Amino acid sequence: MSELTRIPAPAGVAPAAQYSHVVLGRGSFVAIAGQVPLDEDGKLVGEGDAAAQARQVFENLSRCLTAAGATFDDVVKLTYFVTDMAHMPALRAARAEHIPDDRLPAASAVQVAALVRPEFLMEVEAFAVVGE
């Protein structure tokens, strides 16, 4: 695991409530492609259910991080793509199951017109830094 420094409110920038403005660390960079709510067999989890989809997305992120020798403690940035900003509370709840409030990564949330499949309500990508 890398040593990460989180800066939730740099001088002159309003504090962030649900993310850190800056996260820095030393080590190997890991990019995790956008994860969607498909199970290991490629089947949709939670059709129309933002909470179920968010849990599956974070489970997929966890598995990808593990494959890279990383954990959520190593995540420096999450990018959320949602078809409706109303899905953000479900994503935050799923994130809270994996990342404590004192270890929040930098984050961006973007509402999109559509994702690669119309039944997907969300997609989340991650960037991490693992030990030197």
CA distance 112 to 28: 30
Q: How confident is the model at residue 125 (pLDDT cuts 50, 70, 90)?
A: very high
pLDDT confidence of residue 25: 86
Instruction: For 9-36, give the DSSP string.
Output: S-TTSPPPSSS-SEEEE-SEEEEEEEE-
9 vs 70 pLDDT, higher one:
70
Per the prediction, the chain carries an average pLDDT of 94
Region 96-117: mean pLDDT is 96
pLDDT confidence of residue 18: 87
DSSP H helical segments within 43-108, as ranges? 50-67, 88-96
pLDDT confidence of residue 2: 65
For the stretch 77-92, pLDDT in tens is 999 999 999 999 999 9
Terminal-to-terminal C-alpha distance of the chain: 8
For the stretch 26-75, pLDDT in tens is 899 999 999 999 999 999 999 999 999 999 999 999 999 999 999 999 99
| Residue 111 vs residues 28, 87, 96, 114: alpha-carbon distances, Å | 30, 10, 21, 9
